[in-house]
Structure 1
Amino acid sequence: MRFSRSALAAWCAALALAACGGSGERAENEILIAAIFDLTGPTADVGLDYADAVQGHVEWLNQRGGIRGRPVRLIYQDYAYQVALAEQLYTQFVQEGALIFMGWGTGDTEALRLRIAEDRIPFSSASLSHVLGDAHESPYNFLVATSYSDQFRIVLRWIAEDHRARGGVGNARVAFMHNASPFGLSPWVQGGEDYAAEIGVDVTPYEMPRGATDYTAEFSRITQSGAAYVVFQNTSAPAAVALRNARSLGVDATFVCLNWCANALLWRLAEDAAEGVIGAIPWAPLTDDVPGVQEIRAYLESRGDDYAEKTNAYTQGWWTMALFAEGVRRVIDAGEELTGENIKHALETIEALDTGGAGPPLTFTPSDHRGSKGLRLFRAEGGRWSPMTELLAAPAGSP
Structure 2
Amino acid sequence: MKRFSLKKVTSLLATSLLALGLLAACSGDGGSSAPAGGGKGDKVIKIGGIFDESGATADVGEPYAVGERAFFEYLNANGGVDGYQVEFTGQDYAYDTSRAQQVYQSLRDRHDVVAVLGWGTADTEALRQQIINDKIPFFSASYSENLKDTGSESGFNFLVAASYSDQGRAMLEWIAETHQGSFPVDVALIYHKGHPFSESPIKDIKDYADEHFSGVINIVPDIEIELGDTSPQTTLQSWARNNSVPDYAIINYTWNQTRNVIRDARQLGWDTQFTGLNWTAGEGLIPVGSDNQQWVEWLDGFVGVITHAFPNEDLPGMAAIHEYLESKDMKVEDINQKFVQGWTTASVMAEAIRIAIANTDGNVTGPDIRVAIESINDLDLGGLGANLSFSSDNHAGTDQIRLGQLKNGEWVMITDYFGVSDKR
TM-score (ref. length: structure 1): 0.88
Q: Give the direction of change, closer, same or farther, for the CA distance of 1:237–1:301 in structure 2 (3 Å limit).
A: farther
Offset of 1:383 from its aligned partner?
2.4
Is 1:264–1:309's contact at 8 Å kept on the other side of the alignment? Answer: no
Counterpart-to-counterpart distance in 1, 2:344 and 2:148: 17
Q: State the shift of 1:284 in Å.
A: 1.5
Question: C-alpha separation between the residues in 2 aligned to 1:88 and 1:66?
Answer: 29
- Unpaired runs of 5+ in structure 2? 1-31, 289-294
> How high is the sequence identity, in percent, across the aligned residues?
37
Q: CA RMSD in A?
A: 2.0
**Higher relative contact order, chain-length normalized (CA < 8 Å, sep 6+):** 2
Partner of 2:50: 36
Q: Is the 8 A contact 1:150 1:395 kept in 2?
A: no
In the alignment, which residue of structure 2 is the partner of 1:235?
254
Q: Deviations over 1:91-137 (max 9, x none)?
A: 12111211111110000000000111111101011100012122224
8 Å contact from structure 1 (residues 175, 222) kept in 2: no
Structure 1, 199-208 or 321-330: larger mean CA deviation = 199-208
Inter-partner Cα distance in structure 1 for 2:283 and 2:329:
19
Question: Residue 340 of structure 2 aligns to a residue in which SS?
Answer: helix
Residue type at the aligned position of 1:159? I
With the length of structure 2 as denominator, give the TM-score of the two structures.
0.83
SS in 2 for 1:152: helix
Residues 158 and 396 in structure 2, CA contact (< 8 A), matched pair in contact too: yes
The Cα of 1:144 is off from its aligned counterpart by 0.5
1:146, 1:370 within 8 Å by CA — same for their partners in 2?
yes
SS of the residue 1:77 aligns to: strand
Structure 1 residues 279 and 69, CA, compared in 2 at 3 Å: closer, same or farther?
same
Match of 2:340 in 1: 315
CA contact (8 A) 1:154 1:395 kept: no
Q: Secondary structure of 1:374's partner?
A: coil
Check 1:88–1:184 CA distance in 2 against 1; reply closer, same or farther (3 A cut).
Answer: same
Find out whether 1:150 has 2:151 as its counterpart.
no
Give the aligned length.
371
Q: How does 1:34-183 map to 2 (within 5 A)?
A: 34-96=48-110, 97-136=112-151, 137-163=153-179, 166-169=180-183, 171-180=184-193, 181-183=195-197
Q: 2:205 aligns with which of 192, 212, 230?
A: 192
The 10-residue stretch of structure 1 (172-181 or 233-242) with the greater mean CA deviation from structure 2? 172-181
Unaligned runs of 5+ in 1: 1-23
Question: Is 1:367 aligned with 2:393?
Answer: yes
Amino acid at match of 2:315: V
CA contact (8 A) 2:296 2:408 kept: no
Given that 1:35 and 1:75 are in contact with CA atoms closer than 8 Å, whether structure 2 keeps it comes out as: yes
CA distance in 1, matches of 2:147, 2:348: 17
The separation in 2 between residues aligned to 1:217 and 1:157, in whole angstroms, is 31
More displaced stretch, 217-226 vs 81-90: 217-226
Q: Distance in 2 between matches of 1:350 and 1:249?
A: 49
Does 1:213 find its partner at 2:230? yes
- Superposed displacement of residue 222, structure 1: 4.4
Question: Given the alignment of the two structures, is residue 385 of structure 1 paired with residue 411 of structure 2, yes or no?
Answer: yes
Q: State the partner residue of 1:14.
A: none
Are positions 1:331 and 2:356 aligned together? yes
Gap change, CA 1:211 and 1:335, over 3 Å in 2: closer
Residue type matched to 2:345 in 1?
A: T
- What letter is aligned with 1:300? L
Q: How far 1:309 sits from its partner (Å)?
A: 4.4
Alignment of 1:229-378 (within 5 A): 229-268=248-287, 270-336=295-361, 337-378=363-404
* Cα distance per residue 1:228-280 (max 9 Å; x no partner): 10111000011111122222222111011210011000023643322111111
Q: Distance in 1 between matches of 2:174 and 2:48?
A: 38
- Offset of residue 292 of structure 1: 2.3
Query: Secondary structure of 1:291's match?
Result: coil
Amino acid at match of 1:391: Y
Preserved contact between residue 33 and residue 44 of structure 2 (Cα < 8 Å): no
